[in-house]
Amino acid sequence: MNRTLILLPLFFWLSALGAQSYSDSIQTLSGAANGNSQTEYAATLARLEPLAEKGVRNADLYYDLGVCYYHLGDRGKAVLNFLRTLNIDSAHKQARENLNYIHTTDPDLPREPRQPYLAQLFLRIYNFFSLNRLALMVLVCALLNTLSLHLLFHYPLDKERGLPVLLVLISSILLLGSGGTLLVKHHRWLHNSRAVVLEAVELRAAPASGRMLKDLPPASTVTVKQASGQQFQVILPDGLSGWIDRQAVEMVVPGQKF
């Protein structure tokens, strides 16, 4: 039990330390960016883009790309890279705030309907546990479960075993819950069906020559349902479904095939 009491504060300290490490780097970038010129943003973009093209998947890399694209006037690629940031690190506060800012300042972009408070609360908790935090939580829960089983097996036979059994049940539930959530998030990280419109495109009721439903501006976010030739069937945040030219959008997961 004493080991457990020592490990719990250590777990929360490591989580806070991990969050602080990227937070410091982002704050430094944001502070320097306020005085940057278009030339400096273009130079930074030229330095970072080759890393992304080589297949480097890093939340801060995508965030920096998003900031550069936004200041250079390309909102579509800015939104794409902020979504890529959140796909890797759902707890990345700055990327989420920037996305909200872009949607707030551009009323033409399709938005998701406002959700009930309890749903918002659940999503905040779900987003707080990024892949790294979940992996750390799984390790800690596995260790707690092992210690609880050790306590149960070596508990005096003449004493009531309610407490060690309870500890085993709680640690097992936490381990299964965190492990299952980690698997779900890892699958979404590899197979995210969201995409971003990079150039204005028409949403049609059927592939190619169908009735036009709506004009989608750059930076619109859609969910790809299926592909047919050079067309994607997509769903907008408000639930409207239709077909668009697949060349006008780019998937959040780089290189994902449909």
**pLDDT, tens digit, for every residue of 193-223?**
999 999 999 999 988 777 889 999 999 999 9
Q: What string of DSSP letters covers 165-213?
A: HHHHHHHHHHHHHHHHHHHHHHHHHHS--EEEE-S-EEEESSTTTSPEE
Pick the CATH number of 194-251 from 2.40.50.100, 3.30.300.30, 2.60.40.1180, 2.30.30.40: 2.30.30.40
CA-to-CA distance for 110 and 127, rounded, in angstroms? 22
Relative orientation angle of helices 38-53 and 59-71, to the nearest 10 degrees: 140
- Domain 2-105 and domain 194-251, same fold? Reply is no
Q: What is the CATH number of domain 2-105?
A: 1.25.40.10
Contact criterion met (CB below 8 Å) for 193 and 223:
yes
Q: What is the pTM of this model?
A: 0.80
- What local confidence, expressed as pLDDT, does residue 157 receive? 83
The residue among 158 and 236 whose pLDDT is bigger is 236
Q: Taking Cα atoms as reference points, which of 26, 34, 28, 33 lies closest to residue 59?
A: 26
Q: Where are the domains of the chain?
A: 2-105, 129-190, 194-251
Query: Residue 147, class by beta-carbon neighbours within 10 Å (0-12 exposed, 13-18 middle, 19+ buried)?
Result: middle
**pLDDT, tens digit, for every residue of 120-167?**
899 899 999 999 999 999 999 999 999 999 999 998 888 888 888 999
